[in-house]
Amino acid sequence: MSKPLSFYRSYFLSKTMSFLRRRNGTDSSKTRVADPNIEKDGADNDDKKKDQYKMPQRRNYGSKKWSCWDNCCWFIGFICSIWWFCLFLYNTMPDSIPQFVTMAITGPLPDPPGVKLRKEGLTANHPVVLVPGVVTGGLELWEGRHCAEGLLGKRLWGGSFGEFYKRPLCWLEHISLDNGTGFDPPGIRVRPVTGLVAADYFATGYFVWAVVIANLAHIGYEEKSLYMAAYDWRLSFQNTEIRDQSLTRIKSNIELLVATHGGKKVVVLPHSMGVQYFLHFMKWVETPAPRGGGGGPDWCAKHIKAIMNIGAPFLGSPKSIALHFSIEVRDIAALRAQAPGLLDKDVLGLQTFKHLMRMFRTWDATFSMIPKGGETIWGGLDWSPETETVNNSAKKGTDNSTRNTGGNGNICDTKGVNYGRLISFSKDWAETHSSKIERVDFKHVAKGDKLTNSSNCDIWLEYHEMGNRAIKAVADHKVYTAGSILDLLHYVAPKLMARGASHFSYGIADDLDDPKYDQYKYWSNPLETKLPNAPDMEIYSLYGVGLPTERGYIYKVAPPSDCSIPFQIDTSVDGDSEDSCLKGGVFSGDGDETVPIISAGFMCAKGWRGKTRFNPSGIRTYNREYKHAPPANLLEGRGTQSGSHVDLLGNFALIEDVLRVAAGATGEDIGGDRVYSDILKWSERINIKL
């Protein structure tokens, strides 16, 4: 017979109470001692038992010392917490708060150029075409290897670069081109992002064209009157047409802009390498099909009002030599010197420098940046346009050195500097007169003694096939000018340069009417091609001055090692004075940190000025220089008066010039030439047939 529910309830309660009494030491099954002395002894024993268990724990806990590992973890956690908190505040605060704080500290901000000119009554007039330069345009994935699963349609270049951190080797494989063909490797398709978002920002918060676009919008421009001529900046210029029909798209879009704006011609704004790309386009568009666009000899005259070249490397940049030779520039070399060997070692499977060199050497468009014009433009063993002649022991009693006085005062003291020597192996050879230099003819030195274990190199570079004799011969040549630098690159990287030489040329044409110059490899070199027959068109060169810009390098041979890059910039070498142009193994001249003034300014100052054989129709040219001024404080960001190569796109004075021309002004209306440097004097020193 089942027991009633009340029985189970009573049983459960009794057991529970019994358990609680035992926990409290008051079990009813035991009799409490009434003697107070016994009770006191029991209490003392209980206290001792408690102390026995508690005191050691407290003593151990209180005496524990933090290790270095604990400190590091705490510090990293603290920094990450602060970072994420600041990021949270930045993303949640209203957009007006940073501006309010800035105004409270610095006072009222000046009106942006677009707002200022709108108040003057300027409005949108001519449609505008933007041509981005190297590395600033976004690239996205359309087909990839298994390691890139989930990235279809997402950016591999530009934006957040998140995939670079997650899977670096996979990213390098997809962003590199095929060494043989110059196109995508089999099974990979990476294509340029289209639209204004292709190059408005390079990464979050780092503007490229965004400031220019915003100011154009202030005077009435919108997407239907703006066109971003995006292209895959890794490919050679002609290959962008072969693979993506990029040149045809530019031609069609410019024709559409002119047709939809009542026949008003476009104003073109190329930046950096985009300047050379658009030079190539102008020759291509007028060349008969199928070699060119078939637009006819008057296409540019009908469709282009002005070309406002920004940070133009018309004649290349010495930086490209260092990048092709040792994948270094000034900042990278300085980092390498601060952490010797770190970037060369196999850290977490990443041989950083060798991966970067392999990737960079697959980007054919970078060949367009190698200096053009040889010693005629860049100087020889004992002269350069910026210093004319060099004071040395062979010319006693003469001192024609000058102080390079660019946009923001004295850049450096050029006394004894010969910029014509683009690469020197030691400071002594950079300064010694040419009559005292005995150089080895490295071109005939065999490369038979390959470096040991070169066949086992994980990252293949052509340096692996040189051998110690060839490396020594390169260093024993001692000095390289713009006339011998091509021989050097052909020797150390013959397969690389064979591909580059099929797409680009670096000389000066003797006869521009020679039929050979109708070949596309000459079209981006302004010294080997003619400007179009468009006398009403205007060409501007807008560039920054007042910043130390790489002009030459002192190299050393790195310690022998398997699978290594054998040449490095010698960062231990400095000039003899504090304001010397030689610092950290790099000779600096005036420019915008990337492009020297000679490259940016010569063509508009002399090569194209008036009717010349390079400019037979007499297109008007203007040089507009912008003095560099750093931001007054951190709240100004990258500054509104910067002359730096990319930051120049945020320079208010430059943007105002662009907006006035887009609204209908001519070069004379905005003041003609504005020159702070010695470009006119330097150009006169360059002896070239015009």
In sequence order, which residues have a C-beta less than 8 Å from that of residue 264 and are 6 or more positions away?
125, 126, 127, 258, 305
Mean pLDDT of 287-315: 96
Which among 209, 281, 275 is positioned nearest to 250, based on CA atoms? Answer: 281
pLDDT for 115 equals 96
Q: Is the pLDDT of residue 547 over 50?
A: yes
Measured CA to CA, the distance from residue 249 to residue 341 in angstroms comes to 46
pLDDT band per the 50, 70, 90 thresholds, residue 92: low
pLDDT band per the 50, 70, 90 thresholds, residue 16: low
Residues 325-359: pLDDT tens digits? 988 888 776 666 665 555 555 444 456 778 888 88
Mean pLDDT of 279-288: 97
pLDDT for 391 equals 47
pLDDT for 179 equals 85
Domain ranges of the chain: 113-316+537-548+593-685, 319-387+412-452+459-526+549-587
pLDDT for 328 equals 86
Q: Of residues 262 and 96, which shows the higher confidence score?
A: 262
Contact 276, 505 (CB under 8 A): no
pLDDT for 204 equals 80
In sequence order, which residues have a C-beta less than 8 Å from that of residue 345 and are 6 or more positions away?
351
pLDDT for 269 equals 98
Contact 315, 527 (CB under 8 A): yes
Q: Which residue has the tokens 């450096």?
A: 412
Measured CA to CA, the distance from residue 263 to residue 257 in angstroms comes to 8
Q: Is the pLDDT of residue 597 over 70?
A: yes
Angle between helices 485-492 and 318-326 (to 10 degrees): 20
Helix (H) or strand (E) holding 24, with range, is none
Mean pLDDT of 453-481: 78
Strands 201-203 and 423-424: unpaired
Q: Is the pLDDT of residue 670 over 70?
A: yes
CA gyration radius for the chain? Answer: 34
**What six digits make up the tokens of 338?**
């601060």
pLDDT for 30 equals 43
pLDDT for 355 equals 81
CATH superfamily of 113-316+537-548+593-685: Alpha/Beta hydrolase fold, catalytic domain (3.40.50.1820)
Q: Which residue has the tokens 């109708």?
A: 518
Helix (H) or strand (E) holding 599, with range, is helix 597-602
Residues 615-662: pLDDT tens digits? 999 999 999 999 999 887 766 778 899 999 999 999 999 999 999 999
Identity of residue 356 = L
**What six digits make up the tokens of 281?**
């386009």
Q: How many CB atoms lie within 10 A of CB 443?
A: 12
Q: Is the pLDDT of residue 21 over 70?
A: no
Question: What is the CB-side half-sphere exposure of residue 484 using CA atoms within 13 A?
Answer: 18
pLDDT for 343 equals 55
**What six digits make up the tokens of 376?**
């005629």
Where is average pLDDT lowest: 162-166, 283-287, 366-370, 628-632?
162-166
pLDDT for 103 equals 55
pLDDT for 552 equals 95
pTM of the model: 0.83
pLDDT band per the 50, 70, 90 thresholds, residue 566: confident
Identity of residue 448 = G
Helix (H) or strand (E) holding 392, with range, is none
pLDDT for 97 equals 54
Task: Look at residue 271 and give its three-state secondary structure.
Answer: strand
Residues 369-426: pLDDT tens digits? 999 999 999 999 999 999 865 544 333 333 344 444 444 446 888 887 899 999 999 9
Contact 542, 308 (CB under 8 A): yes
Residues 302-314: pLDDT tens digits? 999 999 999 999 9
Contact 212, 658 (CB under 8 A): yes
Mean pLDDT of 218-229: 96
- Which residues are marked as active site? 272, 592, 645
pLDDT for 674 equals 97
Measured CA to CA, the distance from residue 487 to residue 509 in angstroms comes to 19
Mean pLDDT of 547-557: 94
Q: Is the pLDDT of residue 53 over 50?
A: no
Q: What is the mean pLDDT of the chain?
A: 84
Q: Which residue has the tokens 């044409």?
A: 509
Contact 499, 365 (CB under 8 A): no
pLDDT band per the 50, 70, 90 thresholds, residue 443: confident
Q: Is the pLDDT of residue 220 over 80?
A: yes
What are the angstrom distances between the C-alpha of 513 and each of 227, 533, 661, 664?
34, 14, 33, 35
| Per-range mean pLDDT, top range of 161-175, 449-463, 490-504 | 490-504
On the question of a cis peptide bond just before residue 290, with omega within 30 degrees of 0, the verdict is yes
pLDDT for 215 equals 96
- End-to-end alpha carbon distance in the chain: 124
pLDDT for 632 equals 76
